[in-house]
Structure 1
Amino acid sequence: MHATPRSTDAAPRSPSRRTALVLGAVTALVAGTVGVGAASAPANTPGTVSSNGAGAAGKSHGKLPYLNPRLPTHKRVKDLLSRMTLAEKIGQMTQAERANATPADVTALGLGSILSGGGSVPADNSPEGWADMVDGFQQGALATRLKIPVLYGVDAVHGHANLYGATVFPHNIGLGATRDPRLVEKVSHITAEETRATGPQWNFAPCLCVVRDDRWGRSYESFGESPRLVSEMAVAVRGLQGRPGQLDNPDRVLATPKHFAGDGLTTFGTSEGDYTIDQGISIVSREDFARLALAPYWPAIRKYGAGSVMPSFSSVDWTEDGVGTNVLKMTAHTELLTGVLKGRMGFDGLVISDWEAIHQLPGDWNTQVRTAINAGIDMAMEPAQFREFITALTEEVQAGRVPMSRINDAVSRILTQKFELGLFEKPYTDRRNIDEVGSRQHRKVAREAVAKSQVLLKNRGWVLPLSKRAPLYVAGSNADNIGNQAGGWTLTWQGGSYHDFPGTTILEGIKDVSRGDVTVSETASAPVPRDATGVVVVGETPYAEGFGDVGGPQWAYDPGDNGIPRPVKDMKLSAADQQAVDTVCSQAAECVVVVVSGRPLEISPALLSKIDGLVAGWLPGSEGDGVADVLFGKKRFTGKLPVTWPRTVAQQPLNIGDADYDPLFPYGFGLRTR
């Protein structure tokens, strides 16, 4: 998902007189004062709905079956749908961003959902501050005629990392390296608990992309390059939602497998603007698309019952000869969304568009809206243009270009999830687990995940594990930087080297274990003792979608960046990092290099020859002490590469099974310590 929109020529116009007139009518419809003819059912009698939407439903069972929790969900949905006006239905299909909407907007327009994009947080970015904010929007929803609760969504892709103090887990690429689905389920469950306890009931995760070209800036959001591995990790859906019947528990949230489908399969150079691969085109056969892109969604939906799915920004081209002339955006792909996802896969949840994805479709604004909804989009993520979306969809329905059957199907799917989440009985935040946010027990699980994610690539002379009493010389840009080790989607959309939050850096973890002298010099400018073991922690600085593409844009227009330029991403160590490795490994008695990154980085043969121990540390998150655990032998190295490690960036794309497969380290590689 995006947190900052890209410019688009097809963006809707500023609010016009037409929009104002339609929205005036919408407000009246939501309030129940205007009829909509054959498009709606009679409004219920005012005053028959509980004033707070919870606890008083029993008094209304005789008049309002949809408030009766003893009725099956499908009967409650049918009853509520029959009472809704067209305006109320379209309101439910609309999602706005918290920074652009107010509780009063939720009331006036009957909005079905609010989200926080990356870095969009309340002024009080604490667990209580989040819960109060979400409850404020919920209060707006419960002031509507039918008192339909609002769904609040966030991108908790490696923990509820927008929230200061949350447990920040390794990104998916590191979790893929663990080869431990049970651990991934546990990580997802903790993420769900910390998220729901602070208000949001909907998580835009897990990412089930199968990354096939590591030049993609979202590579770290993938569990790996193998569809089999990613399919195994689809158990994250169950970790978030629980088993059937558990979704209304206070430690569960609605899951969203994304991005359907093929976002990890796009061809380098096919994206638009200054992105090079993100949001590009998958130019493959149908057979390869099914094998590499669709495979993980089958268990996510059929086995684990995912309640929502988010389509990708990317496009697919079925052209068998690879010419690339039959391109269609996922948001408009009727065959994939309605035919495959809702048809063959039997998906009965809701489909939520990505951040302003509708704007990327061909045609004028009304055409874009009509195309997306008819293709199978149930809810539109319109962070700023939610009023214009309501206007356009209302006009398209009234003109007969979007059938009421499509509207009713979409709203039924949305209401079903709200009932299953128990929001009609308990719309406000259940804060019983709020003290567990960032708890010692949760961080213990994160530390375990970090340790299991570390992949040992080289161990000349059994340099690892390190002696606790040996003198150490620690250097490198990522040794003592918690922002770098957490990566993107942490506090802000793109993340930041300057970020600071509760946790342990790798250096702090080393100091906690070591009993010998520890010399620290980030740039390796201090003299290196000849008898010391060098530990050089290097790698990437944070990035997220688009801005992490190799050859992509240098500037990330994220409010948290304050206009600070980021280094261009090239999958190579920076000159400073290379110099630090060369200096330490040339002078220390022996040296270990830990690469903290969202994907494999190019390491020259000359540099590699000087390194005794090499570790792929990925993006460990808040618990850097998990890295120290394996460096010093408190835990054994067990991680295996979830992606192929190339010799050079020029080899990309490079995946197991390729005819010319010649990696530096193959997929699945990982040494173990004694």
Structure 2
Amino acid sequence: MAATIYGVRSFFLSAAIVILFAGRYGGAAEATGGYIKYKDPKAPVEERVEDLLIRMTLPEKLGQMCQVDRFNFSFFPTGQEIFTKYMIGSVLSNPYDTGASQLKRVLTSNTMQKLSLSTRLGIPMLYSIDAVHGHNTFINATIFPHNVGLGATRDPQLIKKIGAITALEVKATGIAQAFAPCVAVCRDPRWGRCYESYSEDPKVVNMMTESIIDGLQGNAPYIADVKTNVAGCAKHFVGDGGTVGGINENNTVADDATLFGIHMPPFEIAVKKGIASIMASYSSLNGVKMHTNKAMITDYLKNTLKFQGIVISDWEGIDRITTPPKANYSYSIEASINAGIDMVMIPFEYKEFLEKLTNLVNGGYIPMSRIDDAVRRVLRVKFFIGLFEKPLAEETLDPEFGSEAHREVAKEAVRKSMVLLKNGKTNADKVVPLPKKAKKILVVGRHANDMGWQCGGFSLTWQGFNGTGEDIGRNKALGLPTGKTRGTTILEAIQKAVDATTEVVYVEEPNQETSKLHRDAAYTIVVVGEVPYAETRGDSSTLSIAEPGPATINNTCGSGMKCLVVLVTGRPLVIEPYLEKIDALAVAWLPGTEGQGVADVLFGDHPFTGTLSRTWMKNVAQLPMNVGDKNYDPLFPFGYGIKT
């Protein structure tokens, strides 16, 4: 999902609104006193769906097809109309909606839900959020490594635990759906979303897809436990990991062997696992925008695979069908709905959308059968995930949010995701594990001491955050997180891991004199990599280490002191020019909040076990290059990783 910074100030509705609707929710629906099948939890879900569907007016049906941004609700009194007038069926929190405490968000969720339940039919709303590496939008949540690191673990049981923890923390904030997992098969690391992909190999992606859905949803239809599981969303359908040149939202050129052998299998698995929803991709497939691709959405996904859940658009996805966006909005609505989109993510312009959609239905351009199919799918998911029986969020999950037990699993994930690519210039000259006891060690590079940079994009905000002092004032002025989320930086973890007598000297940006000044250090740990990004802003034609990373390596490695480089990155970077200078090289990927896991393997408390889930190229001229290609000549091959 994409987002931009909005000049919208959020505030919560007053307690008076809660009281106003507390006595009404659920009581307004068909208050005739007779038996109402859709309200009977013992009735079969499909019968409940049909019973409710035939009672609905056209405006009520179209409202269920809309998902709007929660910020709309912040305006009193018009925010109430989202539910009471327009009967919107779903809301989402965008990746900047991070300011509230966990308990305040539960209150907000329940206030919105009571408004939904106060309508004529009492249909509950579905609340959704991006939770792509833990509950990553919320301060003090447990943030796990991004998928590129999890793919390196090759540990499906660990991934299942991560899914279950993510679901529990999402539920603890009153939210019922996570826009996860991303099941893209990234075939070109120049793509700005490559870190959201588990691997270039569909077999690895398939394995992780199955496990993460088991964790998020459980094993029953859609979700197993109303209290602790969430509805998942497999994304982005289909082929977004194979765009030409690795350019985000570009065209993917794929024959049947490529499409059905590489990009489609994770979605087939997601459907078999009962995924609640699937999100369409911004990208095109063989020149056809995926948001308008009826052959893929309706003919294959719905009719061939028998997918029964919701097909949802991406953020303003239908707007981007045309260039420029919304150039012909009526056409975009007609094309996307007729292609099989069931729920449309229209953050703010929902009134215009509903007006045009109503006209298209009344004019016969979109058949009522298509509307009924879409609404039927939305209702089916809401019934299966327990919203009708248990619509209100609980406050009792508060102790689970960001708990120590959850962080222990995150540390395990970091440890198992670490990949050792070089360990000494000769077999007899190993650097790792590092000795804990030394007179002095030198740690250099901003990535060692910046929580935001080690978390990467989709962390507190869409594009990630900066966690150093000079950024806090700027972020505060913009209404963005200040980096004060709970966790351990890599530097803090190193300081904790070494012997109490060992002096740890940290230099953020070393110059040529730094190594001379600290020549008595036993070794240097250099932590460099990428600056946080998300989506198109992450597209890169060079895959270079971010400045001043190259200078940091050159100023500290090759000086006679042992030099271990740790890369904090969402993908392989061009490292060959520096490899001769480096004594040891490890990849931490984007480890999240628990930097202790990095130190655990560097100092030998746990072994290096991770292996590359991506091919590590020598240079970008080789790209795209994936395991199994005819001319496969990598710097480090897929599956490589030194064990300790």
Whether the TM-score (by the shorter chain) exceeds 0.5 is: yes
Mapped pair 1:240 → 2:216: yes
Match of 1:422 among 380, 386, 410: 386
Cα drift, residue 650 of structure 1:
2.2
C-alpha distance after superposition, 1:122-154 (max 9, x if no partner): x5x211121122122212212211111100110
| Distance (Å, rounded) in 2 between the aligned partners of 1:436 and 1:427 | 20
1:469 corresponds to:
437
C-alpha distance after superposition, 1:366-386 (max 9, x if no partner): 111111111000000000111
Mapped pair 1:655 → 2:642: no
| Distance (Å, rounded) in 1 between the aligned partners of 2:586 and 2:623 | 21
Match of 1:543 among 512, 516, 533: 533
Cα drift, residue 584 of structure 1:
2.0
1:103, 1:136 within 8 Å by CA — same for their partners in 2? no
Cα drift, residue 645 of structure 1:
0.7
Stretches (4+) displaced over 6 A: 56-61
C-alpha distance after superposition, 1:546-597 (max 9, x if no partner): 000015xxxxxxxxxxxxxxxxxx4112342122222222235311100001
Cα drift, residue 256 of structure 1:
0.3
The farther-off stretch of 541-550 and 523-532 is: 523-532
Cα drift, residue 248 of structure 1:
4.4
| Distance (Å, rounded) in 1 between the aligned partners of 2:247 and 2:4 | 18
1:53, 1:425 within 8 Å by CA — same for their partners in 2? no
Match of 1:444 among 392, 408, 431: 408
Mapped pair 1:341 → 2:319: no
1:57, 1:67 within 8 Å by CA — same for their partners in 2? no
| Distance (Å, rounded) in 1 between the aligned partners of 2:458 and 2:105 | 17
Equivalence map 1:19-58=2 (5 Å): 51-53=24-26
Mapped pair 1:288 → 2:248: no
1:504 corresponds to:
488
1:262 corresponds to:
239
| Distance (Å, rounded) in 1 between the aligned partners of 2:422 and 2:32 | 68
| Distance (Å, rounded) in 2 between the aligned partners of 1:492 and 1:444 | 24
The farther-off stretch of 135-144 and 185-194 is: 135-144
1:25 corresponds to:
none
| Distance (Å, rounded) in 1 between the aligned partners of 2:132 and 2:89 | 22
1:158, 1:168 within 8 Å by CA — same for their partners in 2? yes
2:584 corresponds to:
613
| Distance (Å, rounded) in 1 between the aligned partners of 2:137 and 2:230 | 16
Equivalence map 1:360-379=2 (5 Å): 360-362=320-322, 364-379=328-343
The farther-off stretch of 542-551 and 241-250 is: 241-250
1:434 corresponds to:
398
C-alpha distance after superposition, 1:278-299 (max 9, x if no partner): 0000012122111111011111
1:324 corresponds to:
none
TM-score by length of 2: 0.89
| Distance (Å, rounded) in 2 between the aligned partners of 1:663 and 1:346 | 40
Mapped pair 1:397 → 2:361: yes
C-alpha distance after superposition, 1:85-124 (max 9, x if no partner): 0100000001111123423322210000001111123x5x
Match of 2:96 among 108, 119, 125: 119
Match of 2:161 among 167, 186, 191: 186
1:103, 1:138 within 8 Å by CA — same for their partners in 2? no
1:160, 1:168 within 8 Å by CA — same for their partners in 2? yes
The farther-off stretch of 221-230 and 389-398 is: 389-398
Cα drift, residue 59 of structure 1:
10
2:233, 2:275 within 8 Å by CA — same for their partners in 1? yes
Match of 1:63 among 18, 35, 50: 35
2:189 corresponds to:
214
1:580 corresponds to:
552
1:2 corresponds to:
2
Q: What residue identity is the alignment partner of 2:4?
A: T
2:153, 2:609 within 8 Å by CA — same for their partners in 1? yes
1:80 corresponds to:
52
Cα drift, residue 346 of structure 1:
1.3
C-alpha distance after superposition, 1:398-421 (max 9, x if no partner): 111111111111111101111111
| Distance (Å, rounded) in 1 between the aligned partners of 2:254 and 2:590 | 31
| Distance (Å, rounded) in 2 between the aligned partners of 1:398 and 1:544 | 40
1:60, 1:67 within 8 Å by CA — same for their partners in 2? no
Cα drift, residue 528 of structure 1:
2.4
2:128, 2:176 within 8 Å by CA — same for their partners in 1? yes
Cα drift, residue 60 of structure 1:
8.1
1:532, 1:588 within 8 Å by CA — same for their partners in 2? no
C-alpha distance after superposition, 1:604-660 (max 9, x if no partner): 33x211111100110000000000000011110000101111111222211111222
2:531, 2:546 within 8 Å by CA — same for their partners in 1? no
Mapped pair 1:307 → 2:276: yes
Q: What residue identity is the alignment partner of 1:466?
A: L
The farther-off stretch of 332-341 and 246-255 is: 246-255
The farther-off stretch of 526-535 and 590-599 is: 526-535
| Identity between Structure 1 and Structure 2 (%) | 45
Equivalence map 1:70-149=2 (5 Å): 70-101=42-73, 102-121=79-98, 123=99, 125-149=100-124
2:5, 2:96 within 8 Å by CA — same for their partners in 1? no
1:351, 1:376 within 8 Å by CA — same for their partners in 2? yes
| Distance (Å, rounded) in 2 between the aligned partners of 1:154 and 1:574 | 30
2:507 corresponds to:
521
| Distance (Å, rounded) in 1 between the aligned partners of 2:168 and 2:26 | 23
SS of residue paired to 2:180: coil
Query: Unmatched 5+ residue regions in structure 2?
Result: 7-21, 74-78, 468-482
Pairs aligned (count): 592
1:638 corresponds to:
609
Match of 2:420 among 444, 452, 456: 456
Match of 2:450 among 481, 495, 505: 481
Cα drift, residue 57 of structure 1:
10
2:14 corresponds to:
none
Cα drift, residue 50 of structure 1:
9.0
| Distance (Å, rounded) in 1 between the aligned partners of 2:239 and 2:170 | 28
SS of residue paired to 1:153: strand
TM-score by length of 1: 0.85
SS of residue paired to 1:479: helix
1:531, 1:588 within 8 Å by CA — same for their partners in 2? no
1:162 corresponds to:
137
2:567, 2:588 within 8 Å by CA — same for their partners in 1? yes
C-alpha distance after superposition, 1:406-460 (max 9, x if no partner): 1111111101111111111221112221211100000000000000000000001
Match of 2:226 among 228, 249, 261: 249
Go from structure 1 to structure 2 and tell me whether the alpha carbon gap of 1:61 and 1:480 turns closer, same or farther (over 3 Å shift). farther
| Distance (Å, rounded) in 1 between the aligned partners of 2:198 and 2:519 | 40
1:278 corresponds to:
248
Go from structure 1 to structure 2 and tell me whether the alpha carbon gap of 1:468 and 1:59 turns closer, same or farther (over 3 Å shift). farther
1:556 corresponds to:
none
Q: What residue identity is the alignment partner of 1:219?
A: C
